[in-house]
Amino acid sequence: GQKLRRPLHFYVAALRALDLLNVEVAYDDLAVLGQVPYEWLPPNGYPVTATPWATTSGLNARWNLAFELASGASLGSEERMYTDLIDLIDPAPTVIELVENVSRRIYGRVLPTAQLTAFVDYASDKGGGSTPVTPQLLSRKLQGLFGLMIAAPQFQWV
């Protein structure tokens, strides 16, 4: 958690987490994030420190893109390759298990309980981790849950 992912690394990690691949929109996405490969003019390459990337507009672009990727939306006229998010995780009877499964997919591990609380509150509408997962809950909350976890600080900082 000491180094902010550069935009290209953030983008590739988000695509992997969501099992997406569509190079037709990658250039546009990376342009919005500010790191199109080979377009940095100085000969030293893109900055590796957090300062140039941890700006209001830089973080806002990441957050917006996290939700657009999770929803399968398009920044331009091209369509993104659609992934059924429910196929990326194991079935979960309760919200806490759902959040843990999405955490495993996004972060490669289950986050500590203190960090999961906000995600559980979102997914359960503050009903708690024991709230049953229904098809209606999944249709209302799954895309947002994936987007929130990709937009969260735990995904930005490695």
Residue range 52-65, pLDDT digits in tens: 898 999 999 999 99
Buried b (16+ CB within 10 A) or exposed e, 70-80: bebeeeeeeeb
pTM across the whole model: 0.88
Tens of pLDDT, residue by residue over 34-81, are 999 888 888 888 888 888 898 999 999 999 999 988 887 433 435 555
Helix axes 135-151, 113-124, angle to 10 degrees: 140
CA–CA separation, 4 and 101 (whole Å): 24
Residues 7, 63: contact at Cβ < 8 Å?
Answer: no
Q: Any idea which residue has 């708690």 for tokens?
A: 128
Helix axes 26-33, 7-18, angle to 10 degrees: 130
Tokens of 38: 């080979």
